[in-house]
Amino acid sequence: MLLCVTLVTLPPVLPLLESVLSTGVHESTYDMTRQAVVCASAWFQLGVALPDCDRLADNLVALVFQTGSLPHHLALGLCELILDTLSNMVTHPNTHKYPESCLQMLHKLLVLRQASVPFYQELLSSVYTLFISLCESHSRLLLDTLLVDGASKRDILQVLQIILECSDSAGVYPTEETTSQLAFSYWFILQDDIIGSETQHYSLYVSMLSPVYRRLAEILLRKSMLPETDETWTSDEKELLRCYRQDAADTMVAHLTCSSQTSSPWPPQQLRPTNLAMFYYQMYCYNVLREDLLKLLHSKLEDALLKFDKDPSQWQPLESCLHAFLSVSECVQTSETDNLPKFLATLQKLPFQQLDVRVMSTVLDAIGAYAEWINGHPEVLTSVIPLLVMGLGTPQVAPSATLALKDLTRDCQNCMGPFAHHILQASQDALRCNQLKLSECVRLMYTVGRVLAVLPMESIMNYLNQMLMPYVEELHVLVTLEINTVTKLAILSRLKMLSMLFATLDVQGEGDISRFPQPVFLVLQRILPVIQAIVHVWCSDAQVIEVVCSVLKNAVATLLDQSLPLVADMTQILVKSYQLQPHPAALDLARQFVIMYGRNKSHVKLMQSLLCELSSITLHMTAPPHCQNISEYSDILEAFFNLLAQVLKKNAELLASAESLELEKLFQCGILALSVPEALTVKASSSFLVNFISQSTELALLFSVVQSNGESLTLRILRNIGGESPRSALEPLADLLLTMNKKHCDSLSRWLNTTICSEPQPLPRSTVSQRELFVKMVLRERANKRKLQETVREFSLICRGLVGTEYAAKLSPYF
């Protein structure tokens, strides 16, 4: 019907609008003209063939030039409305059917660039929006047209200059202007279309548009300058600028693809260009200009450095160039050998003592960003290490210095030998000055561990005695002090530093055990008594216990089998901690111990004893009358059943052969844990039960437990399906039913048929026939987990009385 109305009504409408708009605009006819423009906009949104809009477009463009006689507020409002109407006309989805008309329309609109109206500057944002919208909608058409010489090609190059002008809007973003961000999306689309072009066209586009991207790069360097001061800025404005410059680089650098032959769009379209400002611009420029951009940036950097030498207050251009190098770091290939060595050598010329803190931070961030490239060119370390070491001595830039050192020592560890003493001495001085934040101290210990690992054993121990032992001695003192927040923070900081050191100080090469014992072993051996004391005093503090477990976990992960002589002592600490105050972190640590040492003949009994102790404590804690609400211990039960599930999966014999382990009570506790509302706990207990049942056909002890408690488990599953557990916890129940059907098919059939008839009815609101059909469908499915999940989900809707609701309609096609 709508189509019929359009076809019948459209011919009279266009001439009527043309006649109204062709008479010009005066204050007396303003309302009628405005209504005509609104009417035209509505028809354009509905869809009018672009060739039919030719005369109407002429009238609309002419109106913009005729508004000078109107009062300012009327003229500005009408012009903005006209420009919005023109945008609706040229961006309608059907316009792609008329490529020639699109190019002709572009030519008509170009006169708006120089509209001689007194309020043109106020209108600029709308003018830019019109051209950007047109180019975004017809980007491929414009690119294809560039390959053919003629007037249209000149028009396209002209409109690109207009969009460059938009990007180059005067003022500081976002306090003085917000127009420059309008062009972000188009540069993305253009670069995407260039990269997706056919091979023979790609080089032509690059050659033709290189001047555009070179100009864009120069604009970028100006627009990315920081303000001289932001003290008067609001927090929102500071955040906008931060997003404009940095967030995109931080969040998107891992997704960059730099190959000129790639056909996949970059960056992903779901990301908002307004939040990816400078980073995207720099990436677009790099993907087209590549080495030419690096030459341009280095040239600008040299100029900025000369300007700074003459006038130290002119630091913004210098910081901007450094930020540009930082932004393109992930796109630069390791084979690049012309410009990056010059860039890194130039950094040595910087007068650090005179630099603004923000410039120093950007320098250090840039060095860290090129860590992977530096690994392939270790000769430049001589230039950059002194800068990083210098940064450690300046608290304001210590975050950037520690991050950059972490990146370098991670990627270039094997090249750190000649610089080890310099780095370690500076690290020691920085730690002693007590001016670093906790996160910076922990990060610095990462660097210390990586650097120490390349030194001879004697040197390692000397440095550890100088740097680490004072912290160990402080821990001995702190553990005797009164429990308060200050003492807790001091203990946490030292433990976190130890944990990071243990994670990174690994001197054992592949297959090399000649350097046993490792330094971590010697340090761990020395600190175990104080850790035991900390556990005894701070057992009720979850944060402290969590960090203690992290220390032991990292030590064991580094030492592997070399930690065997200390496993008994660590196990004792773990059990003591769990006895005093059960905590999930202790169970996570126990899982690591059992998996690593459960097959070691000399430690089998110890691991079984550990499992028995932890199980006994957990069962006692969650059993009546000690526990009135098992949900209170959901986090502990989650970690506990994850531990048992891993043991059953990797070494079920260890569990089954433990003499003191009450397997039946563990199974019953697992059934009970299915009743809690926490989905993660239900998932963990289901995983334990699934692995228990899976192993039961191989191990007689497990088989008897399943047979004795299978009916109770089935009843619990049906109650959960019937509505006693959240809908989010249904999927693990399907896994359980599938495993039971695979391993105990006959028994499951008997259990299901018994429980669906039990009272009170576990499956309310369902009829006898529905329950019988459900049992048949469950027993029929032994392989397709997804189909069984759908069966459980749909039957649960029936039992919960949700059939016919909007929720059920979304969840299942059958309701």
Among 188-192, 473-477, 734-738, the range scoring the smallest mean pLDDT is 188-192
Give yes or no for a contact between 125 and 182, defined as CB atoms under 8 angstroms apart. Answer: yes
**What is the rounded (10 degree) CA torsion for 393, 399, 405, 408?**
-150
What is the spatial distance between Cα 29 and Cα 35, in angstroms, rounded to a whole number?
Answer: 10
Q: What is the mean pLDDT of residues 784-809?
A: 81
Whether the per-residue pLDDT at 480 is higher than 80: the answer is yes
pLDDT (0 to 100) of residue 11: 53
Q: What percent of the chain has pLDDT over 90?
A: 63
Q: What is the DSSP string of 389-438?
A: HHHHT-GGGHHHHHHHHHHHHHHSGGG-GGGHHHHHHHHHHHHHTT-S-H
pLDDT (0 to 100) of residue 521: 95
Give φ, ψ of 638 to 5 degrees: -60, -50
pLDDT (0 to 100) of residue 172: 86
Domain layout of the chain by residue ranges: 9-168, 456-581
Q: What percent of the chain has pLDDT over 70?
A: 90
Peptide bond into 71 cis (omega under 30): no
Residue 123, both tokens: 């209108």
Q: pLDDT tens digits, residue range 256-300? A: 333 333 333 333 333 333 344 454 445 545 544 567 778 888 999
Residue 599, both tokens: 């097959």
Q: What is the mean pLDDT of residues 537-549?
A: 95
Among 625, 709, 714, smallest CA distance to 666 is for 709
Q: pLDDT tens digits, residue range 435-463? A: 899 999 999 999 999 999 999 999 999 99
pLDDT (0 to 100) of residue 665: 95
pLDDT (0 to 100) of residue 398: 94
Q: What's the full length of the chain, in residues?
A: 815
Helix H, strand E, coil C: the string for 214-273 is HHHHHHHHHHCCCCCCCCCCCHHHHHHHHHHHHHHHHHHHHHCCCCCCCCCCCCCCCCCH
The predicted model scores a pTM of 0.82
Whether the per-residue pLDDT at 6 is higher than 70: the answer is no
Whether the per-residue pLDDT at 377 is higher than 90: the answer is yes
Q: CA distances (Å), 15 to each of 9, 12, 495, 535, in order?
A: 11, 6, 82, 88
Give helix 604-622 / helix 663-673 axis angle, nearest 10°. Answer: 50
Among 769, 742, 739, 772, smallest CA distance to 755 is for 772
Peptide bond into 93 cis (omega under 30): no
Among 354, 220, 364, 369, smallest CA distance to 283 is for 220
Peptide bond into 174 cis (omega under 30): yes
Q: CA distances (Å), 556 to each of 412, 464, 509, 550, in order?
A: 25, 19, 16, 10
Whether the per-residue pLDDT at 162 is higher than 70: the answer is yes
Which one is predicted more confidently, 508 or 738?
A: 738
Single-letter residue type at 54: D
